Amino acid sequence: MRVAVVGGGMAGLAAAHELSTGGADVLVLEGSSRIGGKLLLGEVGGLTLDLGAESILARRPEGLDLMHAVGLDDRVVNPRTTDAAIWTHGSLRPMPPTVMGIPASNDLNGIAVVDPHVVDVPDGDVSVAEFVSARLGADVVDRLVEPLLGGVYAGHADQLSLQATAPQIAALGSDLLTAATTARAGATASGPVFAGLVGGVGRLPGAVADGIEVRLDATVREIARMGDAWRLSVGLTTDVESVDVDAVVVAAPAPAAARLLSEAAPDAAFALAAIDYASVAIVTYVFDDGPSFDGSGFLVPPVDGTFIKAATVSSNKWGWVRDTGRTVIRASVGRAGEATLLQTNDTDLTARALADLRSAFGALPEPIDSLVQRWGGGLPQYAVGHLDRIDTIERDIATVSGLEVCGAAYRGVGIPAVIASGWAAARRLLDGTMDA
């Protein structure tokens, strides 16, 4: 079976790896000039660092399993610290224990005021903000839940789906405060929550793609059914080439997937077109010397009106960065609906983010170097009703043989989740050929 995978991000590469391991003949068609999608290494101040995603959740197996499968075990590391802070009310305050922002302690370090109410859990989906504010008050949403969701989804709690983005909160039930306290008290230490790779998680795409046929600068423009097979139109509009395959995995973000599927799976395409994305930018600074702060970084509640939404002190978080002897800090800017914030040049963005870092940390020297990495359409927004939308997409795709989709638009934006979606897409195709 010859399979084309459209998109060489982590989802597409995971699908390609699984297909290849299962005996398929795989071709990855990547529209840009590099593989990896939101995983990217770049040079700042003479150091090679992650400019996009930089850690993986280790509580799910897929990320670590893939690293193991491609021989990266000896590079897997855990953060030196995961102690985070919230920058609010004018100071950095240690993040109290929470379940996704739901307080699991009465001592919130002055971050938020809790106004507890016991309210039944609704049957249908609601926004995270609606659910939490009814039970704990708006301040907990604004100063704890919102910054955490902003960190993962670059989204807003009043728009994000409870069921799709915070099922852990929904599972706490009607009495959030008591349930979160009990959950944290009963949690047994089960190993580190996060992992990374020495040299950056940006090393993963290359290792996964090793031995797989990849074509770069190969934008797929159209996917057409040809009897039992598929014909893909690939390349520049002025020089389109046809690629014929038995099956296709569309691993491109929702807007591109919607265009590509408009003929083959119109209901799926329609639902995909409704998924919005947030654009973000990461500004990486390399300094000779750092702040006295020794945590992994901080999150900022949007109500505080700062330019940056979070900062990671990579040289505190990762031993391999610390070993360079430099201080490395990443500031992230931009949430859904805040595109105007990013409509400024790199010099201005760098200066404004640095001013925020100085307000939060106190004195910082002039950076040796800095770099702005923009991620236009970086993170899909799982709006209220997202899971129904994904059900519609998956039902429609399931009616078309030899066609699969995967990626961050569907059931999880994190690296392990997109790997899982790539693997599942690959297995459905492999199982389909075995059944046939």
Ligand X SMILES: Cc1cc2nc3c(=O)[nH]c(=O)nc-3n(C[C@H](O)[C@H](O)[C@H](O)COP(=O)(O)OP(=O)(O)OC[C@H]3O[C@@H](n4cnc5c(N)ncnc54)[C@H](O)[C@@H]3O)c2cc1C
Of 58 and 136, which has the nearer Cβ to ligand X? 58
Q: How far apart are alpha carbons 12 and 205 in whole angstroms?
A: 10
- Considering only residues 273 through 292, tell me which ones interact with ligand X, judged by CB under 6 A: 280, 282
Residue in 12, 101, 147, 367 binding ligand X, rule: CB under 6 A: 12
SS3 406: coil
Total interface residues for ligand X by CB under 6 A: 36
Report the nearest approach of ligand X to the CB of residue 375 (Å). Answer: 4
Of 251 and 390, which has the nearer Cβ to ligand X? 251
**x/- track of binding to ligand X for residues 42-61 (CB under 6 A):** ----------xxxxx-----
Helix (H), strand (E) at residue 403 = strand 403-405
Report the nearest approach of ligand X to the CB of residue 50 (Å). Answer: 8
156 binds ligand X (CB under 6 A): no
Buried b (16+ CB within 10 A) or exposed e, 16-47: bbbbbebebebbbbbbeeebbbbbbbbebbeb
- CB count within 10 Å of CB 239 equals 7
Of 140 and 197, which has the nearer Cβ to ligand X? 197
Q: Which residues pair with 55 in a beta bridge?
A: none
Residue in 17, 24, 31, 426 binding ligand X, rule: CB under 6 A: 31
Per the listing, tokens 């902003």 go with 150
Contact indicator for 413, 153 with CB cutoff of 8 Å: yes
**x/- track of binding to ligand X for residues 218-257 (CB under 6 A):** -xx------------------------------xxx--x-
301 binds ligand X (CB under 6 A): no
Strand order in the sheet with 310-313: 91-94, 84-88, 297-299, 310-313, 327-333, 277-287, 369-380
C-alpha angle 303/309/315, rounded to 5°? 145
Q: How far apart are alpha carbons 171 and 370 in whole angstroms?
A: 42
Residue in 20, 24, 27, 30 binding ligand X, rule: CB under 6 A: 30
7 binds ligand X (CB under 6 A): yes
C-alpha angle 86/91/95, rounded to 5°? 25
Q: How far apart are alpha carbons 388 and 22 in whole angstroms?
A: 31
Of 84 and 136, which has the nearer Cβ to ligand X? 84
Contact region with ligand X (CB under 6 A), list: 297-305, 373-381, 384-392, 426-434: 373-381
379 binds ligand X (CB under 6 A): yes
Of 104 and 413, which has the nearer Cβ to ligand X? 413
Residue in 3, 4, 5, 9 binding ligand X, rule: CB under 6 A: 9
Contact region with ligand X (CB under 6 A), list: 29-37, 140-148, 158-166, 349-357: 29-37
Buried b (16+ CB within 10 A) or exposed e, 410-424: bbbbbbbbbbbbbbb
Site for ligand X, rule CB under 6 A: 6-12, 29-32, 37-39, 52-56, 219-220, 251-253, 256, 280, 282, 375, 378-379, 407-408, 413-415, 418
